[in-house]
Every structure is written in C-alpha cells, then in structure tokens.
Chains A and B, each alone.
Chain A
C-alpha cells in the first residue's frame, strides 16, 4: 500500500507540473490581458500600464515568466492578482472551504434523492414507480441550473420569505444561518447530479439483482431487505462511488452558475472572473488547486474500493 501511495504521489506531482505549463501556455497565447482591459476602460494611464507590466514581469519573454512563476511556486508563493493585488493563496484559502461546504451539501442532497429513487426503480422495474422516478431523473438532468436556482429564490425567498436569497451563512450567527443559506444552492446543484446517479443506481442494481449469489440468498430464505442491503447494494456500490467521486471532484472546481445566482463566494466565481479578466496568477493558482483536489478525491475513491470490495488490494 505504501508503494502504491508513493507511486500515486509522484504521478500527481508530474501531472501538476504538466498542468501548470499547459495552463500558462494557453493563457499566454489567448488574446487580451488585464492591463489592456484596464487601459481600454480608462482605469489606468499608459504610463501606469507600463509600470505595472514591468512590476509583474509581463514584459519578459514567456519562458522567463514561466521560470519566475515556477520558482515562486516551489517556495509556496502563488503570486498576487493583477487586478486586485490580493495574494492568490489568500483568495483561494477564502473560497475553497466555501466550495467544499457547498459540494458536500450538494452531494448529500444528490445521494439522498438518487439512492432511494434508483433502488425503488430497480426493484419495481417497469412499474409506474419506475417510470416516475426515471422521469424525475430526466427532469433533474435537463433543467438548467440557473433557471432552477432563480425559481427557488423566487418562491422561497420572494414569495414565502422563509429562506435567504443570496450569500453564505456564518457559524458566528448560529448554525441555522449556515444551513438556511445552504439549502437552496445545495438543492439546485444536488438535483442536477441526482439525475445521473439515479439512473446509474438503477442500472447497476438491475445487473446485480440477476446474478447467482442473489438468487442463492433468496433461495436460502434470507429476508428481502437483507438480500438487498447486504448482497445487492454492496456489490453495486463500486460504479456508484466512482461516478459520485468524479462528480464531487468536478464540483470542487466550483459551480460558477450556481455560485453567481446565489452569490456564493466559491472557487467557481473566482476562477471564471480570473479568466474573463485574464488575471494570470489567479488562473494558474485556481487551476493547480483544482487539479490537486481532483487527484486527491480520485485517490480517496480508489482507497474506498478496498473497503467496499475486500478482493481489491493495492501493492
């Protein structure tokens, strides 16, 4: 197991290095930079633009700029935003916990919908319950995030006035402040993930329900609930955990649309704003953090397999 973890760590570092170079190249090649935008919108003078370029080394050749960036990175310095002058690491440290919170809540909502719905669907295949749950799953996948989010805001925030319409809650204001701000964005995000997970749960369970050991368990007189939870479900978990893990990892990069609609200060908004403004240090920092987070989640999912299926071992 130790060898396996070390090997994964080395691969991760190499991957991060490649990602940093690719992102740097893409951003350098893309037209426009933040200094241009500030110039064109008359926020700064040409003389100031020239000073800012020199100060940030933007007038150096690209390989010099990349070398400087790597050197800073190796010393744990992600640089400073070109548009706000805030340390990139501080901005990420502020946004990442908010994104993690929203991701966990959304995943819980998604699983709370998908697992029961998918299970019932599989057990009552081709029944009215099955068709209804498939339709619900389809609606969840098809509905645009921003539309659902605005509908929820209009109903629960404007009409009923029982939930806040924007922002993030703080524990210093009480647990309900955190939960009440989390409900609507988590439902919005969770609903769209639940669709895919419901169908996956259903199809995986259907596969497992027909195998020999399940028939044997029933023949031995085991209670149906025990058959489902002890034999069927556990053996169907691997694909569900894989897809849920991938969705979780993807969400750690932030959900831009939901974060914008609900004014949730997460990684998605930070990253997309940086791209729109060509804020190179922030783009690079957020991409690296996202990549590292994603790889960590995949590693955790792989390790989880060991607990789900004892036959799996990593040497």
Chain B
C-alpha cells in the first residue's frame, strides 16, 4: 500500500504528444508489432462475447460498419456517411472499392470481392441470430437499397445505435466464407480489415500479415498477439523486447515503473469504481444510512494514497471522463461532502447509536456490521481497506470481504450477499442504463434500484437522437441516482497501456487495440 510519490502528469503529457498525428517523425513501413493478450479463443466476428483480446484481434481482421474514435464518437469508416430519414430509419452509404481479403481458400489471390450492402445485411442478421454480445435488439429490419446503400429500421429512436457496443463493433463478414468454412471460420476468418490471419492458435497466439489491398495506409508488415497470462512474465516480456505493447497494464504500480523505465504510457480507458448498495437489503434500504456512510468517508485521502497521479481521479458520478455524454464533476461535486459528525447524526436519527458503550454503533441490540464484498482486485482492495478503516475508527463494525469472482457475482445478482459491495463498470455510453434502469434488475442492475423518474429519463435519453438533449437527460438521471445514494462514487481508474517507445500510431482507448483507423495507422520506428 505504499504509494510512490511521483508525478506523471507531465510525463504522460509529454508522451501523449508523441501519439497519433503528432509524431515528430514520418511513419516508416515495415516491422511486426507484438501485442500482449491474456487469452485468445475465438475470433468469429459475431461470437466474441465481449472477450477484449479476441475483440482486439477482430478489429484488425474485419472492418466495423462505423468507426468509433477515441472519444467514443461515431465517425465515417466502412460506412462513409449516414443520415436519418426519420427517427427510426437510418440510411448508411458504404465506401466503394473496399474488398474482402484474398489469397485464402474463399477468395483466390487477386479476387477479393467488394464489400456491398448485401454483406452488411447478412452480417446484421447473422449477429442477431447467433446471439453474440452486440445489442442489436432495436433493429427490426435491414435491407440493401442498392449496391452501397443500407437501410436500417429500428423499433424506436435508438440514440446508441452507432456506439461501440452496437454498430460501432458490428464486423462485416462475407457470407460465402462463413458458409464454406463452418467452424473453421472462428480460427481463420476472412474480413476486409487491415490485416489477414496467417495462423490462430487458441490459448497461444494470433499471427496476422498486412492486407495489401486495404483502403487505408498500413505501415506494419504484420501483427502478433501472444498470450501471456501472468502479469510479471508479461512485464518481463516487454522489458526484454519479446513483446512491444501491453494494451492493459492491470497493476498501476507496474505502469508507473514502466513509465520510469522509458516505455510509452497511454490511456486505455476509464473505469468507474465505487461502493454499491442493494437497495432492498437492510440497513441499506434506509437512505439515511447510505447518506451517512458517504459523509463519513474521506474518499479524497484514500484515492490520493493509492492511485498514482495521472492514473485516475476522484469520481463524483458514474460516467467516466472519456465518455462524451454525462461526465459531470462540476454538477455533482456539491452533492458530496466529507462530514463525519453529520454522518453520525444521520445514523443516530436512523436509530444507530453506541448504546452498549463498546465503541461500535448498534440498534436494538444488533451492531451496525458492514461487510463490503469485493473480488480480487489489487487497487480496489487497497483503496477500500483505507475506507473500511475510516469507518471502523468512527464506530462502525466494517470489514472488507474478498470473494471469488463467481461467488461475488452470484451474490450481486441474486441479492444473497451482504448488501454492500465493490461496484464497478466498464460501460461506455450506456453504463447508466445498465446499472440503474429497473429493466436490468437481476442482471446488470445489481442495486435492485427502481425509480420511475430515472427510468423515464434514461428511456428518453436512449430515444433522443440530438446529442445535447440526450446529454441533458443523462446527466439529470445520474444526478438523481447520486442524490438517492444508490452508489458512493469513489474513483475512476485509468487503465494504462504500455509500449515500446519505438511503436507509434496505435490506440487502445475504448478497451480494445486498434492499429489502423481513419485517424491513425500504427508503425514501428527502425
């Protein structure tokens, strides 16, 4: 728990200057970029099931319909433009001349077929049928209007249709490859992306080579994703040059050390961390108890003690800084106050006092016992250990209970646990809906929280295509969630990526590695 006092803001800023588009030198052609993966299993475009490493490989092999940039905003990609003819109808115009990879068993050398609207129709229908992890349930019909134009109709105005969990990650596949290859498609797929699959061994590695016919410049000769499950071995592999990029360094101290050694550190993305309550479980069904606990926690001190500067920030809401819609620290900060005396007063009003003089609060002979359930997570455990200690010093019998991840999940989903837990979310734009809409109780709404006003605001936001109006509804919903103290936001953890300083033009924001996009193309300095 000893935090190294080391300011990295300046260093990160300096290193970020060398990112996309601002590199001091011109891109150089050649070289193979070797990227770390925790596991690789199946790179069928529509069976990724959210496995981040497989998704990272998929982004190199296929083209998504829409490019989502590092600010999580949809941009032209395979679809070079789109418009709404009405609130529930989207018309996408494909980029002509994009072809599927050739030189394989489906498309012989020089005979890569052009990507057409029919391929988009096929891919959407396949993704829906196969039950992958993309949320395409709002789509009621999709059809090709002509060779390069696709019309998609939705059941309702879907504001999130283009985001990274929807069409922003819908990969386009050729029907003939899927039908001809069968199960083999998950190991040697054919797409239209910047790299072709040379070999894919589940659990070991994926070897890709440049697609010479790609519609954007590709500087790398090839890419290798190599599986290394152990974090220490991964670090040594980067230090020995056996790999060039770790796109998610899970241990913050390791990232700090690598930065000091001269490796490039870039943000992968922010994740929300906080304390969550099961709103139906006593004593957390009492707003006064939840509010009191939030006032008794010196969160700033705990975060400062554990999170190195530049690798996270204090959270006041659920929406993290990299999500363009809803991040509202200025609006939410006034709702949080560190005032232990007021917290104790609130608990007393709720009936919790130290009636037996043992130094711990109780009510009707029962102590106020708080057991925060957490899964194995080094940074979270360090921060929460401090928070639990603060509560104990104020007379609350607080503990941190570490559980196996599956048991922790089971307790959250079934409500069997203690009622207070380490809360987290990787979600991008749709996190508020996942965590707080009553429709997701028993699934991702592990707070069992139901507020008709919040439901209404979240539904309105999801159906409002105008960005500013959508953001208003989203922020309003978030504000009510905080006022209700469904969660106590603690920090946003910045997941860092670390790389060989000779590797440029890569991006790991959004939770996946993207090497070639309209914004940048990765290259290695010789």
Which residues of B from 423 to 472 have beta carbons under 8 Å from A?
Answer: 425-427, 431, 434, 439-440, 442-444, 446
User: A94-B202, A263-B227, A263-B230 given as contacts; is B49 within 8 A of A277 (CB)?
Assistant: no
Identify B232's interface contact among A31, A51, A150, CB under 8 A: A150
Q: Is the pair B226, A32 in contact by a Cβ cutoff of 8 Å? A: no
Provided the pairs A39-B443, A84-B49 are in contact, do residues A31 and B406 lie with their beta carbons within 8 angstroms?
yes
In the complex, the answer to whether B50 meets A43 with C-beta atoms within 8 Å is yes
Of the listed residues A48, A83, A158, A164, the one surrounded by the most CB atoms of chain B closer than 10 A to its CB is A48
**Tally of contacts, chain A with chain B, CB under 8 A:** 142
Set of chain B residues within 8 Å of A265, measured between Cβ atoms: 201, 203-204, 227
* Chain B contacts for A71, CB-based, 8 A: none
Q: Is the CB of B427 within 8 A of A42?
A: yes
Within 8 Å by CB of B229, from A36, A86, A87, A263, lies: A263
Closest residue of A by beta carbon distance from B428: A42
**Any chain A CB within 8 A of the CB of B85?**
no
The distance from the CB of B255 to the nearest CB of chain A, in whole angstroms, is 19
The chain A residue sitting closest to B441, CB to CB, is A46
The interface size of chain A toward B, counting residues with CB under 8 Å, comes to 53
In the assembled complex, the CB of B439 is this many whole angstroms from the nearest CB of chain A, namely 8
Stretch among B39-47, B364-372, B384-392 lining the A interface: B39-47
Cβ contact within 8 Å between A55 and B131: yes
Let me know if B186 is at the binding interface, CB within 8 A.
yes
Stretch at the interface among A1-9, A11-19, A165-173, A218-226: A165-173
**B442 and A36 within 8 A (CB):** no
B50 touches A165 (CB 8 A): no
Q: Is the CB of B183 within 8 A of A87?
A: yes
A140 to B204, CA, bound (A): 29
Decide yes or no whether B137 CB sits under 8 A from chain A.
yes
For the complex, is B242 an interface residue (Cβ under 8 Å from A)?
yes
A269 near B229 (CB under 8 angstroms)?
yes
Per-position 1/0 for A164-188, Cβ under 8 A of B: 1111100000000000000000000
Q: Establish whether residues B201 and A154, one from each chain, have CB atoms under 8 Å apart when the complex forms.
A: no
B240 close to A85 (CB less than 8 A):
no
Evaluate contact between B186 and A165: CB separation under 8 angstroms. Answer: no
Binds A, one of B106-114, B350-358, B409-417, B512-520: B409-417
Which listed residue, B39, B133, B412, touches A48 by the CB 8 Å rule? B133
Residues in chain B near residue A303, CB distance under 8 A: none
Bound form: Cα–Cα A227–B128 in Å: 75
Please give the distance in Å from B96's CB to the nearest CB on chain A: 34
Q: Which residues of B contact A158 (CB under 8 A)?
A: 236, 239-240
Contact A32 B202 (CB under 8 A): no
A261 x B230 contact (CB < 8 A): yes
**Which among A44, A154, A164 has the highest number of chain B CB atoms within 10 Å?**
A44
Mark out the residues of chain A between 103 and 140 whose CB falls within 8 Å of any chain B CB in the assembled complex. none
**Binary contact readout A264-278 vs B (1 if CB under 8 angstroms, 0 otherwise):** 010001100100111
**Is A38 at the interface (CB under 8 A from chain B)?**
yes
> When chains A and B are docked, how far (Å) is the Cα of A48 from the Cα of B128?
10
Which residues from chain A contact B242 at a C-beta distance below 8 Å? 164-166
Counting CB contacts under 8 A, is B328 at the interface?
no
What is the minimal beta-carbon distance from A274 to any residue of chain B, in angstroms? 11
B228 near A: Cβ within 8 Å? yes
Contact B186 A86 (CB under 8 A): yes
In the complex, which of the residues A45, A153, A165 has the most CB atoms of chain B within 10 Å of its own CB atom?
A: A45
Q: Which residues of chain B are near A44, meaning CB under 8 Å? A: 49-50, 133
A95 interface residue (CB < 8 Å to B): yes
Q: Across the interface, do B133 and A161 meet the contact criterion of CB distance under 8 Å?
A: no
12 A/B residue pairs, CB under 8 Å, sorted by A: A31-B407, A32-B404, A42-B50, A42-B434, A43-B50, A86-B41, A146-B230, A167-B204, A260-B229, A261-B233, A263-B233, A276-B406
**Residue ranges of A at the interface with B (Cβ–Cβ < 8 Å):** 30-33, 36-49, 51-52, 55, 81, 83-87, 91, 94-95, 146, 150, 153-154, 157-158, 161, 164-168, 260-263, 265, 269-270, 273, 276-278
- 12 additional contacts, CB 8 Å, given A41-B50, A84-B42, A94-B203? A31-B407, A31-B410, A32-B404, A32-B409, A37-B409, A40-B413, A46-B440, A46-B443, A83-B49, A150-B232, A161-B240, A277-B406
